């Protein structure tokens, strides 16, 4: 593998191969109840406690669409700048499996609710557009558990019928970094919209990964393999890297790639053939006669459009224009909706530049150190903005602020109280400062002499001495001004 200018190429025997990646992301719709039943979708409940008669496919039970899930899919479609299809159809995908009670999965096959769209990635060498082919709604299956009982497979139907959005990209991704950026961007958009919590540990976001390779410069796409159900970005990257190299090896040895479905073994870090194209299931898709075609009118879609919040791309643009942030800073601050909310809360009541620095600096360091999310931040946005205001109005210096920050992290204490209690208020009285400066000058006649004879660098020494004498509380700006007057 070589990386030139961000290009991801595999080199063998002087041949350079480009890797073509497309993702089918399965995102769990954020919804209290399932796609076609009223059972709860809560994660981590006792097995088979969230199963209705519909989910377990009892005789005569019928699916009734959960309108909330439809709205969520439309919202997500809008977030992907995609076409919302006014007529979509739920089909049955027929196959037998123990954790599929109906014997079919209700999914959208030929007529998905959302059509073509796009996602913009911010890569180090600029923006890149990834085209979205479609988004459709479907039911999740239950879970088969093979490792509890040595004799039997156990089935948990809690997930059975939970709504998923399958978001299919075009084969536009070209590197592991792009895959990382793409998943993060999708996740970010859906979290902004509140349509998916993006929690990969809980399986709310998983992907089938399509990989093919071709010699650099070739126009025609190679034969692809699909790696099923990979549940973290790291595993996606490992799987792609293994699979792309495997394909290159096959081609270099004069072989050809068979279109097949493969599994990624996370322990062995390899992909294995699951079934070939010939063994592919015939799912016998047909429109579910229990559900009428889903018809949406413009009014309905427009109403949802009005409720769409500002999304990462627009927010970034606004941050750059309004707050004069750099694209880099803006990217960091909009990447996660909770971070952007925190930032906006802080900057609403205090200096934007300081807010940016303090959040991306001290606060992020604190969060990383404790491995926590910004929503769990020990320092509230309210108190951080107070701290910034104390710096801005000269009550404390930046240096003192850092020690105040350290105290704040225990129990989110009000910085104003801390400054008062600890007497950390900056000395800004020119007379008092003059006294200290006079003292420093009289105690260091040699340095004064040296400075006057041209050793400008010594100015810093005097500032340091003054700060030290004041216990760090002297207002550095004033100290500078007075010192200059005294020494020159």
Q: Contacting other proteins (CB under 8 A), which of 40, 47, 65, 461?
A: 65
Q: Contacting other proteins (CB under 8 A), which of 4, 13, 59, 267?
A: 59
Using an 8 Å Cβ cutoff, are 210 and 226 in contact? yes
Please report whether residue 103 would count as binding other proteins according to CB under 8 A. Answer: yes
Using an 8 Å Cβ cutoff, are 395 and 426 in contact? yes
> Shortest approach of other proteins to residue 163 CB, angstroms?
16
Q: Contacting other proteins (CB under 8 A), which of 96, 295, 410, 454?
A: 96
Please report whether residue 198 would count as binding other proteins according to CB under 8 A. Answer: no
Please report whether residue 60 would count as binding other proteins according to CB under 8 A. Answer: yes
Would you say 71 or 187 has its CB closer to other proteins? 71
Please report whether residue 102 would count as binding other proteins according to CB under 8 A. Answer: yes
Please report whether residue 61 would count as binding other proteins according to CB under 8 A. Answer: yes
Residues between 399 and 418 with contacts to other proteins, criterion CB under 8 A:
none
Please report whether residue 150 would count as binding other proteins according to CB under 8 A. Answer: no
Judged by DSSP in three states, 235 sits in helix
What is the total count of residues that contact other proteins (CB under 8 A)? 30
Q: How far apart are CA 1 and CA 23, in angstroms?
A: 21
> Shortest approach of other proteins to residue 296 CB, angstroms?
16
Residues between 75 and 94 with contacts to other proteins, criterion CB under 8 A:
92, 94
Stretch that binds other proteins, among 99-107, 125-133, 175-183, 373-381 (CB under 8 A): 99-107
Using an 8 Å Cβ cutoff, are 146 and 122 in contact? no
Q: How far apart are CA 401 and CA 427, in angstroms?
A: 14
Would you say 123 or 292 has its CB closer to other proteins? 292
Judged by DSSP in three states, 354 sits in helix
Would you say 290 or 376 has its CB closer to other proteins? 290
Using an 8 Å Cβ cutoff, are 16 and 8 in contact? no
Q: How far apart are CA 424 and CA 3, in angstroms?
A: 51
> Shortest approach of other proteins to residue 177 CB, angstroms?
38
221: its two tokens: 């796409």
Which residues neighbour 55 within 8 Å (Cβ) at sequence distance 6 or greater? 34, 37, 39, 101, 157, 160, 161
Place of tokens 């593998």: 1
Using an 8 Å Cβ cutoff, are 8 and 176 in contact? yes
Site residues, other proteins (CB under 8 A)? 53, 56-65, 92, 94, 96-98, 101-104, 153, 155, 282, 284-286, 289-292
């Amino acid at each position: 593998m070589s990386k030139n200018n961000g290009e991801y190429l595999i080199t063998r025997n002087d041949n350079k191969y480009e890797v073509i990646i497309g993702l089918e992301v399965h995102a769990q719709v954020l919804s209290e109840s399932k796609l076609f039943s009223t059972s709860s979708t809560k994660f981590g409940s006792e097995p088979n406690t969230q199963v209705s008669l519909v989910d377990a496919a009892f005789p005569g039970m019928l699916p009734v669409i959960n309108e909330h899930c439809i709205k969520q899919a439309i919202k997500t479609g809008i977030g992907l700048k995609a076409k919302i299809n006014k007529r979509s159809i739920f089909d049955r995908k027929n196959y037998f499996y123990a954790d599929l009670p109906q014997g079919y999965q209700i999914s959208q096959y030929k007529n998905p609710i959302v059509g073509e769209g796009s996602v913009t990635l911010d890569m180090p060498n600029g923006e890149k557009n990834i085209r979205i082919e479609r988004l459709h709604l479907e039911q999740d299956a239950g879970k088969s558990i093979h490792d509890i009982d040595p004799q039997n497979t156990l089935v948990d139907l809690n997930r059975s019928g939970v709504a998923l959005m399958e978001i299919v990209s075009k084969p536009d991704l070209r590197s592991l970094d792009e895959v990382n950026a793409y998943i993060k961007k999708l996740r970010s958009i859906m979290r902004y919209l509140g349509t998916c919590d993006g929690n990969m540990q809980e399986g709310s976001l998983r992907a089938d990964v399509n990989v093919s390779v071709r010699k650099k410069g070739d126009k025609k796409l190679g034969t692809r393999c699909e790696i099923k159900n990979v549940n973290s970005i790291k595993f996606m990257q490992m799987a792609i890297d293994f699979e792309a190299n495997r394909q290159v090896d096959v081609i270099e040895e004069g072989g050809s790639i068979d279109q097949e479905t493969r599994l990624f073994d996370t322990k062995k870090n390899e992909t294995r053939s699951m079934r070939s194209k010939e063994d592919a299931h015939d799912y016998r898709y047909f429109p579910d006669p229990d559900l009428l075609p889903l018809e949406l009118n413009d009014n309905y879609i427009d109403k949802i459009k009005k409720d769409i919040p500002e999304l990462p791309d627009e927010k970034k643009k606004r941050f750059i224009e309004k707050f004069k942030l750099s694209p880099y800073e803006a990217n960091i601050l909009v990447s996660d909706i909770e971070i952007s909310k925190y930032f906006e809360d802080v900057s609403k009541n205090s200096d934007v530049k300081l807010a940016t620095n303090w959040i991306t600096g001290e606060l992020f360091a604190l969060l990383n150190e404790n491995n926590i999310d910004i929503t769990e931040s020990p320092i509230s946005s309210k108190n951080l903005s107070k701290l910034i205001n104390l710096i801005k109005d000269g009550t404390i210096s930046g240096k003192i602020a850092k020690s105040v920050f350290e105290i704040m992290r225990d129990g989110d204490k009000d910085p104003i109280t801390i400054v008062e209690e600890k007497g950390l208020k900056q000395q800004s009285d020119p007379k008092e400062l003059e006294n200290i400066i006079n003292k420093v000058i009289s105690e260091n006649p040699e340095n004064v002499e040296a400075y006057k004879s041209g050793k400008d660098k010594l100015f810093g020494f005097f500032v340091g001495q003054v700060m030290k004498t004041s216990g760090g509380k002297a207002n550095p700006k004033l100290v500078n001004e007075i010192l200059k007057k005294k020494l020159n």
